[in-house]
Structure 1
């Protein structure tokens, strides 16, 4: 096995499979200095200002002359004088392909009365505002299997009672974009198939008034959906007692379910990558993309997100859009982000993070090209705004920030009943009420953090598995997890603290 990876014949870089020392000859080029694993080495001399390619796509421009065999990273590669706004060929729909033959995989799901299918069976407690978070958590704590195992002993079909609280809900424009996003997010969770019942706890005087939210979201109270305020109930203690009593009423109904064979078309996966490294776009992301293509062939849905992390690679998605309007909507979201970062004194290349850079990623263009690989090769069927209900089947896009908890929160609000999360640096993450699978990009991470990783895609880098083989393993694991097999993060108890709605706008 070679100590390097060449991704495309026209690339200007090789990727180190292992640490390379000066004097090592790779692909006919003598390495100059030390090249860490996952980092880039120049295949030839590159003049200052010249574009540098990986995946046969531009990942930046040489900020100074680069010699053959030299390490290419933040010291000699940047976004260029135009900050990455070089011309890209959007070629709307150019790569749209005929639909794959339909396939019929099944999993053991939970059928709801309205026809939706769940992968988990929780009762959820949502807070309308930060002020009611403590009460919401106290209610959930009463049913914790860790501290009160007897509370759910008679309800084995209930996965748990979870409190999903947040830090906003007041000090904001009641008609503004921030409030609209919060309302959409809470509505998406309140109606999520993985919740058998939902309790919403408010304070009473907050900007996010529960009655206004109900009206805007077309929601009404019922046996399995109850709302109330601390101020109306008479304080924290009475609120907690009332919440406990209401959940006790819901538990028998929530427990009256069974798993049965369901079509894989009912699976909706949210695609995430966090703590990425130089291998992410070579192993875990394309392997997840292969699994996505399999899911789409079975009628399922996959949601690609994190708009700041497709920046510079959006033209690879517009080419797959089934209609020009879908591609145009994606480009409009890119332009919104350029404006949004600019008015906040930032730029799109503020991402990659320090950890990403330590792992070998240099610019957002490079990171994005690897990130879009999670979306496979299927046609792009729709583009959604944050937390909008995802109604299309197939491969779709949702506009979210690149911050993983915020992004995944929007995907789950949109209907994702499972998350697949690739990481090269290491991640500790879960996402109630939807299980989260973590995919390691390299074997070193797998060996170090196996307690948190569900599958090792580093076998692709090691040469012991192909992208397609790993994609099949991911797809099989998705079916098993959707059928009730616990992910590593679920076993650790992750999921409640990772509910983070996107906050946009002034805090007043």
Structure 2
């Protein structure tokens, strides 16, 4: 196997597929210094100020003279301006219909959605009710009657650090409001108890509203102050959960078309292989789901920064392209307001894995989207109005972004990682896709699919089919590695926007 990979004939760099020592010869060039696996090697001389390309796209500008055989990274490569890209919609191409219809085994809900799990949720309005929600969940799981409910997957306390000391007319309040309502309505919950303190900004009556939060009516709510304090609320909560759990236990899995699935796509702990193996393979799986009428969500707006033209080129309409650019401009203003830069996104772990600028990281991240037309753009935690490939605005911080995707209705999560991210996202099962075989072998207990074999000859299309089948199996009830490990109790992280007052 070659020790390097050239991704595009116009590229100025090759990717090391192993740790290479100084003096090694690759692509007819002798290395002037050692280069770690996943990192970039200069193939052509670049003068200070010249553009550098990977994937056939600009990933930055040389900050000093770069000779062939040099290691290209943050010491000699910096940010560059965005290219104009292609016209909005120029690359939008409808995908062909599937060869044959497929189904999964899911829980059919009263509102027409279909869940992949059957949990009872205890959702909190504010940090002050978080401990009581956990106390209720722990008390329920100790009850003998709960052990007899064979169709209920568990009790999930949804706790967070916000809900008060916020502007009740502001963007942060509205974002949290959408997030909590999205979880209450989520099809992976067979019933939900909403617990508030009573005096917080995020009031229970406001969340409940005048309409039905859940069409199945398997929903209760209470506040600690009105119920009589901690012990009284725990006792009352256990009684309410028992009634709801007995109703939820009547649900059984039944076949449903794949059009009822919604997949949230994430990458975290990325490395130099993410955009070569797992991300494009997930993109191929996303295309297969879209062909079956499903919805797939790409998020993490700061991590498409610099590659947004690849998405607007696939926009279903000029209005969709404008919606995406409006979110990009919002982020530019948001970062500037807080003295930040959009190029500060690659983490230390990303950089150790070979990623240098946000442009480079973004080009690899966009590969998760496949080739389907961009059907719509929605706000954080906003349910997509149309099926197909959709972009949801979110930060690049994985727990926050996944929280928004689940609030938007995602019943599956696919998470690519090169460094080895560990997390889970109850009530939604999440599959971990390893970008390289070395990390997969080291962390096999956390990884669901190894995409490192793409470097050994497995095609992106074959790996996409493998991921597609793994997603259907998980949707039908097969536990993911993160579920088997018990993850999901700490990963509900709503996006906090605005001042904490």
TM-score bracket relative to the smaller structure: over 0.9
Are 1:124 and 1:163, in contact at CA under 8 Å, matched by a contact in 2?
A: yes
Residue 11 (structure 1) aligns with: 11
Q: Distance in 2 between matches of 1:177 and 1:229?
A: 25
Q: CA deviation at 1:28?
A: 1.2
Q: Distance in 1 between matches of 2:185 and 2:217?
A: 13
Q: CA deviation at 1:149?
A: 7.5
Q: CA deviation at 1:114?
A: 2.7
TM-score normalised according to structure 1 size: 0.96
Q: Distance in 1 between matches of 2:118 and 2:86?
A: 42
Q: CA deviation at 1:466?
A: 1.2
Q: CA deviation at 1:151?
A: 4.7
Are 2:430 and 2:482, in contact at CA under 8 Å, matched by a contact in 1?
A: yes
Q: CA deviation at 1:221?
A: 9.8
Corresponding residue SS for 1:438: strand
Residue 66 (structure 1) aligns with: 66
Q: CA deviation at 1:223?
A: 4.6
Q: Distance in 2 between matches of 1:469 and 1:40?
A: 27
TM-score normalised according to structure 2 size: 0.98
- Structure 1 residues 235 and 149, CA gap change in structure 2 (3 angstroms): closer
Corresponding residue SS for 1:204: coil
The worse-fitting range, judged by mean Cα deviation, of 429-438 and 148-157 is: 148-157
Q: Distance in 1 between matches of 2:148 and 2:385?
A: 36
Are 2:94 and 2:372, in contact at CA under 8 Å, matched by a contact in 1?
A: no
Residue 165 (structure 1) aligns with: 159
Are 1:277 and 1:360, in contact at CA under 8 Å, matched by a contact in 2?
A: yes
Q: CA deviation at 1:30?
A: 1.2
Q: Distance in 2 between matches of 1:99 and 1:450?
A: 34
Residue in structure 2 matching 1:479, options 457, 460, 472 = 472
Q: Distance in 1 between matches of 2:210 and 2:67?
A: 60
Deviations 1:21-40 (A, max 9, x none): 11211111111110000000
Residue 122 (structure 1) aligns with: 119
Superposition pairs of residues 322-361 of structure 1, within 5 angstroms:
322-361=316-355
Q: Distance in 2 between matches of 1:416 and 1:114?
A: 15
Q: Distance in 1 between matches of 2:177 and 2:351?
A: 36
Q: CA deviation at 1:87?
A: 3.4
Q: CA deviation at 1:218?
A: 6.1
Q: CA deviation at 1:45?
A: 0.8
Q: Distance in 1 between matches of 2:84 and 2:138?
A: 52
Residue 500 (structure 1) aligns with: 493
Q: CA deviation at 1:95?
A: 0.4
Residue 206 (structure 2) aligns with: 212
Residue 88 (structure 2) aligns with: 92
The worse-fitting range, judged by mean Cα deviation, of 134-143 and 68-77 is: 134-143
Residue 55 (structure 1) aligns with: 55
- What is the RMSD of the two structures over their aligned residues, measured on CA atoms? 1.3
Are 2:184 and 2:214, in contact at CA under 8 Å, matched by a contact in 1?
A: no
Q: Distance in 1 between matches of 2:215 and 2:407?
A: 19
Residue 230 (structure 1) aligns with: 224
Corresponding residue SS for 1:19: coil
Q: What number of residue pairs does the alignment pair up?
A: 500
Q: Which runs of 5+ in 1 are unaligned?
A: none
Corresponding residue SS for 1:143: helix
Residue 196 (structure 1) aligns with: 190
Corresponding residue SS for 2:194: strand
Q: Distance in 2 between matches of 1:165 and 1:189?
A: 11
Q: CA deviation at 1:99?
A: 3.2
Matched, 1:26 2:22: no
Corresponding residue SS for 2:97: coil
Q: CA deviation at 1:150?
A: 3.6
Q: Distance in 2 between matches of 1:275 and 1:143?
A: 36
Corresponding residue SS for 1:185: helix
Q: Distance in 2 between matches of 1:300 and 1:332?
A: 26
The worse-fitting range, judged by mean Cα deviation, of 152-161 and 214-223 is: 214-223
Q: Which runs of 5+ in 2 are unaligned?
A: none
Residue 102 (structure 2) aligns with: 105
Corresponding residue SS for 2:67: coil
Are 1:64 and 1:76, in contact at CA under 8 Å, matched by a contact in 2?
A: yes
Superposition pairs of residues 375-414 of structure 1, within 5 angstroms:
375-414=369-408
Q: CA deviation at 1:389?
A: 1.2
- Structure 1 residues 222 and 56, CA gap change in structure 2 (3 angstroms): closer
Residue 76 (structure 2) aligns with: 76
Matched, 1:276 2:273: no
Q: CA deviation at 1:159?
A: 0.6
Q: Distance in 1 between matches of 2:111 and 2:215?
A: 16
Q: CA deviation at 1:213?
A: 2.2
Deviations 1:77-106 (A, max 9, x none): 011xxxx43332241000011331244111
Q: CA deviation at 1:497?
A: 1.1
